[in-house]
Amino acid sequence: MSRRRNDREVGVALLVTTLQKRGIQLVAVDFDQTLITFHSGGVWKDSVDKLVSKVRPCIRDLMQTCLDRHLNVCIVTYFMQPWVIKELLQKLFRRSDADRILVQANTASFREKHNHEFLGKEAHIAAILTELYNKCHLKIRPDEIILFDDDRDNTDIAMKFGHKAFLVQEDVNERDFEEFAKDLDAAETRKSWIK
């Protein structure tokens, strides 16, 4: 294995280990400019195969490692075609893993239900939590959720609602994951000093 590849894997593994230590149970990932590198405008009219090359490898790897460690993973997005995302996930992950990733997109009925008004990704996360509860009676607290999103408004709102949040920058890579993991650990240590 090349050193570079090894470094990348270490960054992802470190972050997921830290998330587990901090009690995270749900990893919510945005679609546009987070899992994929560009903003689709909410719809994709070309073939799903063409989306595969637009996926950010570090976000895919992060999702895979979370799935390997039995964390719940979901996509929360204003993108309007969940079937496109589900087909893409089948191409990126083993079938048994892809089937475990819940997707809450801005379908027509979801937009209507929420009167076309959304507070960050909170409605999406709430819908995922309901689905997880109905499927496996899982109860997940706000502080056991982390959102990965490229939109600062969404990550700010997520933190106001008690979640953890990672702001995805244009050039995001595994080093950023490592730094974020260190910051989370440091914040936890500070908290324990204050107690």
Query: Which residues face 103 on adjacent strands?
Result: 75
As measured in angstroms, the least distance from the Cβ of 158 to Mg ion is 13
As measured in angstroms, the least distance from the Cβ of 168 to Mg ion is 8
32 or 178: whose CB is closer to Mg ion?
32
- Nearest residue by C-beta to Mg ion? 32
33 or 155: whose CB is closer to Mg ion?
33
As measured in angstroms, the least distance from the Cβ of 35 to Mg ion is 9
**Site size for Mg ion (CB under 5 A):** 4
Other Cβ atoms within 10 Å of 127 Cβ, number: 18
Which tokens is 1 given?
A: 């294995």
> How long a stretch of residues is the chain?
195
Pattern of binders to Mg ion over 128-157, x per CB under 5 A?
A: ----------------------x-------
Cα radius of gyration rounded to whole Å, the chain:
16
The interaxial angle of helices 57-68 and 174-194, nearest 10 deg, is: 50
Q: Figure out which of the listed residues 27, 28, 32, 101 binds Mg ion, where binding follows CB under 5 A.
A: 32
User: Is 167 one of the binding residues for Mg ion (CB under 5 A)?
Assistant: no
Other Cβ atoms within 10 Å of 106 Cβ, number: 20
As measured in angstroms, the least distance from the Cβ of 151 to Mg ion is 5
User: Is 33 one of the binding residues for Mg ion (CB under 5 A)?
Assistant: yes
Q: How far apart are CA 105 and CA 77, in angstroms?
A: 5
| Alpha-carbon separation of residue 4 from 9, 94, 175 (angstroms) | 9, 24, 11
18 or 106: whose CB is closer to Mg ion?
106
Place of tokens 């959304």: 118
Place of tokens 């709430």: 126
30 or 144: whose CB is closer to Mg ion?
30
Question: Which residues would be at the binding site for Mg ion (CB under 5 A)?
Answer: 30, 32-33, 150
